[in-house]
Chains A and B, each alone.
Chain A
């Protein structure tokens, strides 16, 4: 276990969480305004492809980054047009965009680069730099901190900016009002649909930046479907973080950690002791939850805990008996891969505090006539 909990894991977590944070922040602007953004996946792909292609021709990651931002905003504008103007089902439209951007980048890269779905390799000097790469003389004694990508720093700054915008500016107030109670906002003179357009387009720009990080930050080319579900995880993190900027970032870091662990634990044996402890804790929680659900009539916390502990003790005996003599064992990566998704389901069901969506989320606004 020791060699896993290293600084490398921390950096790996930050690296993997960065695109999640950017996409989830994007989702936040859209969903706080009342438009479900399930298209984050497609927006990430749009940004990633645009960034890689433009950087390839322009030889500058900053031009690529800007183009990715514009591309994301443009695609999000289409989503906004469909959902707000044409009152299309938001989830369905988002799904359409996700499928569209599995196909479209591949078609375009086939035409531009005569390849099957990926862009050519971009030389290292044209990729988005790390902080130390951008500012070579900056804090040389803190070399270890400046090894992270500028995009990770940008993501952190954007989280703080979003927090400020959301809670301290008139725009933020309007955005939240439009998502919670559009009728009241409208009565107060706020243009509901205009704010929603802004929210969705901002969401696309941010997800586009996240996509750019995937293709010209973390790797050096665009590959087919390279977002690989990150848009959905970002959405889950947004819900886990209760649609709040800082909490959402923390959720993204948690999911990034699970991802980093998946990579690090691959083929590494885990000591039997930590395995046993993890199993016992897990089983205790599961049975506590079952007991809690069963005892909803009298709500006796002590009885719940005691019965869970009793079951847990019996199961622990069985685990101990069955794993005696084993020194180390390998945990299949698939189980670690599952963790973020299962955590999300558990959170959604309200086991770890309720996560309440903006009240008008998903409903198009029809002005009274």
Chain B
């Protein structure tokens, strides 16, 4: 029953969001059916549709997991956006600094840099909350802006190719490239940027599951999130859990850099993130802060992101911005408390009777 509810509510929320979105499309003067066919249908063609969808899903899995881990500790990490920028730049920085190094050392070092960069950037609001009690929501938002300015400064003043009009760094060393999945899967051309980071994302789902539900650390994180005073009474240091959860969360967000820098562009590109950090909040909520749910929700949003391109091209009025709109509606609907909805429905039916 509980499992059914866990699956049913998100599904209802998504369907309701699609209905609301459909009404908007209808009002604008396009056909909702055609729009949704373009939005969803284009994701299932092989190899392009599926390849790109999974590529788009990769960063969303990472940020979704990041938000979910923090959420399980009772924290809302709105800073995944900043953490992933720092992680991506850290990976690129190692890749540029030691460009000549052998891949066996360089690649793990770059991955580690992405994780560490994100973990530090996520750990700061954790530390601030643990030490000074300042709210992580505002601090993570502020650190997003600081992160964007910081990496933009570093890119512009220190690591840019001279004369390049685009704000991007020089390329990373070839040893730091990770393979595209097209190399291993027959029929998947290598031009599709789906890479090993997707496999890492699946492993990260497993890692988060094991961490949260099979280890003492995870138990302590969840206990802190469920009832901080009870956890403290039980001998758990809440402050330590807050810092730990935020650092793990940031590290997961930083792994977006592995997909972006090491697997796709092979350099740091300023402003690359399509709001991955914020969409991660929707992904985590829709996935009920569970790794399996996060994975499925990330795929759904990736389908929308991919489909948005076709909506832009083939409909008259509706643009790909409908994807942002749908995401926003989904977040609002998922946040509603079902018991409160049923409470008002009961009141309404009583009033009628």
Contact = CB atoms under 8 A, between A and B. Distances in A.
A302 interface: no
A101 B334 CA distance: 17
A95 B317 contact: no
B351 to A, nearest CB: 15
B225 to A, nearest CB: 13
B332 interface: yes
B332 A98 contact: no
B145 A337 contact: yes
Contact of B322 (A36, A103, A229, A335): A103
B132 A107 contact: no
B78 interface: yes
Interface stretch (B190-198, B247-255, B278-286): B278-286
Given A86-B341, A93-B332, A341-B145, 13 more contacts: A82-B336, A87-B337, A91-B76, A92-B335, A96-B329, A104-B325, A106-B319, A224-B321, A232-B145, A236-B141, A342-B146, A345-B128, A348-B134
A191 interface: no
Interface residues of A, number: 49
Contact of A99 (B145, B152, B328): B328
A187 to B, nearest CB: 23
B76 A92 contact: yes
A319 interface: no
Contacts of B330: 96
A165 interface: no
Given A85-B340, A334-B150, A349-B128, A103 B331 contact: no
A256 interface: no
Interface stretch (A108-116, A144-152, A272-280): A108-116
B236 to A, nearest CB: 23
Nearest to B135: A348
A106 B321 contact: yes
Interface in B86-108: none
Closest 7 CB pairs of A and B: A100-B328, A103-B324, A96-B331, A103-B325, A106-B321, A334-B153, A96-B332
A110 B150 contact: no
B65 interface: no
B120 interface: no
A338 interface: yes
Given A87-B340, A97-B328, A108-B28, A332 B142 contact: no
- Interface on chain A toward B: helix, strand, loop, or mixed SS? helix
Q: Which one of A91, A92, A337 has the highest number of Cβ atoms from chain B below 10 Å of its Cβ?
A: A92
Interface of A: 36, 38, 78, 82, 85-89, 91-93, 95-104, 106-108, 110-111, 114, 116-117, 224, 229, 232, 235-236, 239, 332, 334-335, 337-338, 341-342, 344-345, 348-350, 357
A78 B332 CA distance: 10
Contacts of A101: 328
Contacts of B133: 350
Interface in B48-90: 76, 78
A305 B318 CA distance: 62
Given A92-B76, A334-B152, A104 B328 contact: yes
A335 B76 contact: no
B275 A99 contact: yes
Contact of A93 (B134, B142, B335): B335
29 contacts: A86-B337, A88-B332, A88-B336, A95-B281, A95-B331, A96-B330, A96-B332, A99-B331, A100-B327, A100-B328, A102-B324, A103-B325, A104-B321, A106-B319, A107-B319, A108-B28, A110-B319, A114-B317, A229-B145, A232-B142, A335-B149, A337-B145, A338-B149, A341-B142, A341-B143, A341-B145, A344-B138, A348-B139, A357-B135
